[in-house]
Amino acid sequence: MAEIKSTRIAYGEALAKLGAVDDKVLVCDADLAHATMTAFFADKYPDRFYNFGIAECNMMDASAGLAHCGYTVFASTFAIFGAGHAFEQVRNAICYTNANVKLGLSHAGPSCGEDGGSHQAVEDIALMRTLPRMTVIAPCDAVEMEKAVFAAAKTYGPMFIRTGRLPTEVITDESTPFEIGKAVTLREGKDAAIIACGIMVAQAMHAAETLAAEGIECRVINMHTIKPLDNEAVLAAARDCGAIVTAEEHSVIGGLGGAVAEALCGNACVPFERVGIQDRFGQSGTPALLAKEYGLTDKEIAEAVRRAVAKK
Amino acid sequence: MANFEAKAKQIRADVVDSLYAAQSGHPGGSLSCVEILLALYENGVVRYDPKNPKWEERDRVVLSKGHACPTLYAVLADVGFFPREELLTLRKLGSHLQGHPDMNKCPGVDASTGSLGQGMSMSVGYALAGKRPEHDFNVYVVTGDGESQEGIVWEAAMAAAHYNLDNLTVLLDHNGLQIDGTNDQVMSLGDIVAKYAAFGWETCVVDGHDVDAIAEACKAPRCGKPRFICCNTVKGKGVSFMENQVGWHGKPINEEQYKAAKAELGV
């Protein structure tokens, strides 16, 4: 049985570790420190932690102000509030000014569960991806999250790191490479490529296993960085495998599926399927039932691969 | 005072010149904040170095009512951040003098603004940084009365009081007018001084066209709270046909108006 751990806990732990080695790191939150897990940092470094109360817009602008005084600022809240409610502040105060602010936005997607559709961001990747200067990362597991946080601190500029509430499988280890903007191939195969991000990477691995038993060999690509997208990895997958399926815990409009479609269009002509949320809002329920309801399991990925392969 | 009268006329003439050259922009709210910016930059309030615009320990000045940037640009040029001739490039392609201030393009501009309210809350971040052990600087914000209708202004006001930001001073250019009419016609501010006081700020009211009075209010000893200075001003000040006229918020200046404005300013 694989280790189970949420990426938000890994995010909080990574910040606390980062705080010990980088005194230029400041952390901001908007009254959700015990949900985004920035509390781990706040407990260790209270003098480098700012709580802005339930005022996400003010937090984003103030984070930009702090960052422009030479600090690396991690600002956290739920993805729906950070990418949605404070979109304009992220755009004008952080991206437009090129502030060194990292948005660690949690509770993304239906896996946030019972809080329901008002809290389940399904469009955050799409929103953040349209912003000039913004880097968008959706780590696949807790181990990769720590690498992403440390890489973010070493890389100047606005960045969105997507974290999840749900404890999920750890599928990478310390030796798995992580470089912003560079896709990681977790499994080789020649019949189809599954390009996934976030918690759907584990589902993609399960689907690949099921398909292998049927004689369909899949390349599984962990596209942890959605922007800048590793276009080379996408085009190589099209060339080598001849069919592509994307998988994300996000709307199929504008997220990873949209980004991969943009990379393929005009450059490669292969069967292409997108697994994700089909232009719907979320709702209350257990994460497991919601994953089934919204088609976010290995089963849907495997079906999409079969459809794509049949079209070759 | 006489010195500042002449200086204020010169800055107003620069503002009118640049807006006439741009054939767009915001005359009314630019002319109302001339003395506020003169007080900050030319009456010993703000610490800055035109030769080193990014000096880490400089005081930060944030024009949160970013549309009034022609005045900020004129004052920055006047104190030597860039040549005065460049004022005529305002709003033109490739100019560092953007239609709303861009900190990455214009030397001396400490915050990109234009989206109202943003400068207020960015300033909270600056002021927090200014109070950290590594730093020691003050932050001055020029905000508008129409801008005060933005909710984020009050998020910023709450945070500034919560963190006891006594290195933060907000100067309100209170000219009473906004695009669609008077403040009271569009969205009443009520007693804005009392509102800031209720949010935990130290407050005072000054004549917003008195450079010395504004500077004195800025320099008064601090008492552990953020400071709000309500500067009562006249929109379009100094150009009689623009004064107190809602229509002059954002209107291009034609040749006849330009000549009349320059004649009145005597520069």
For A62, the closest of B115, B121, B135 (CB atoms) is B121
From A50's Cα to the closest Cα of chain B, the distance in A is 9
* Positions of A marked catalytic: 56
Q: Do residues B138 and B110 lie in contact, with contact meaning Cβ atoms separated by under 8 Å? A: no
Q: Pairing relation of β-strands A272-277 and A225-227?
A: unpaired
pLDDT at B267: 81
pLDDT at A2: 79
For B124, the closest of A62, A68, A89 (CB atoms) is A62
Residues 6+ apart with CB under 8 A from A135: A155, A157, A158, A159, A160, A180, A181, A225, A227, A228
Which residues in chain B have Cβ-Cβ distances shorter than 8 Å to A55? 152, 155, 158-159
Per DSSP, A229 falls in state: -
For residue A116, the tally of other CB atoms under 10 A from its CB is 15
Dump pLDDT digits (tens) for A270-309.
Answer: 999 999 999 999 999 999 999 999 999 999 999 999 999 9
pLDDT at B30: 98
pLDDT tens, per residue, chain B with 267 residues:
457 999 999 999 999 999 999 999 999 999 999 999 999 999 999 999 999 999 999 999 999 999 999 999 999 999 999 999 999 999 999 999 999 999 999 999 999 999 999 999 999 999 999 999 999 999 999 999 999 999 999 999 999 999 999 999 999 999 999 999 999 999 999 999 999 999 999 999 999 999 999 999 999 999 999 999 999 999 999 999 999 999 999 999 999 999 999 999 998
Domains of chain A: 4-169 (3.40.50.970), 184-310 (3.40.50.920)
Interface test with B, best of A23, A47, A61 (most B CBs within 10 A): A61
Which residues in chain B have Cβ-Cβ distances shorter than 8 Å to A52? 155, 159
Residues 6+ apart with CB under 8 A from B138: B46, B47, B59, B60, B130, B167, B168, B169
Residue ranges of domains in chain B = 2-265
Which residues in chain B have Cβ-Cβ distances shorter than 8 Å to A57? 121, 151-152, 155
How far apart are the two ends of chain B, measured CA to CA in Å?
A: 18
Dump pLDDT digits (tens) for A180-228.
Answer: 999 999 999 999 999 999 999 999 999 999 999 999 999 999 999 999 9
User: What is d(CA B231, CA B221) in angstroms, rounded to the nearest whole number?
Assistant: 19
Q: Do A65 and B129 touch (CB under 8 A)?
A: yes
From A148's Cα to the closest Cα of chain B, the distance in A is 25
Residue B256, burial from CB neighbour count under 10 angstroms (0-12, 13-18, 19+)? exposed
Which of residues 158 through 187 in chain A touch B, CB cutoff 8 A? none
Residues 6+ apart with CB under 8 A from B231: B33, B35, B36, B171, B172, B173, B174, B206, B207, B208, B214
Residues 6+ apart with CB under 8 A from B251: B27
Q: What is the DSSP string of chain B?
A: -HHHHHHHHHHHHHHHHHHHHHT-S-HHHHHHTHHHHHHHHHTT-S---TT-TT-TTSPEEEESSGGGHHHHHHHHHHTTSS-GGGGGGTT-TT-SS-SS--TTTSTT--S---STTHHHHHHHHHHHHHTSTT----EEEEEETTGGGSHHHHHHHHHHHHTT-TTEEEEEEE--EETTEEHHHHS---SHHHHHHHTT-EEEEEETT-HHHHHHHHHSPP-SS-EEEEEE--TTTTSTTTTT-GGGSS----HHHHHHHHHHHT-
Q: Do A68 and B126 touch (CB under 8 A)?
A: yes
Please give the sequence-ordered ranges of beta strands (E in DSSP) within chain A, or none if there are none.
4-5, 25-29, 49-51, 72-78, 101-106, 135-137, 159-162, 168-169, 184-187, 192-196, 218-222, 225-227, 244-251, 272-277
Dump pLDDT digits (tens) for A161-180.
Answer: 999 999 999 999 999 999 99
pLDDT at B256: 97
Dump pLDDT digits (tens) for A8-30.
Answer: 999 999 999 999 999 999 999 99
Residues of B with CB under 8 A from a CB of A: 56, 102-104, 111-112, 114-115, 118, 120-130, 135, 151-152, 155-156, 158-159, 162-163
For B2-265, CATH number out of 3.40.50.970, 3.80.30.20, 3.30.70.270, 3.40.50.1370 equals 3.40.50.970
Interface test with A, best of B102, B147, B155, B167 (most A CBs within 10 A): B155
Dump pLDDT digits (tens) for A43-64.
Answer: 999 999 999 999 999 999 999 9
* Structure ipTM: 0.96
Nearest-CA neighbor of B41 among B205, B253, B215, B157?
B215
pLDDT at A1: 60
Chain B touched by A74 (CB under 8 Å): no
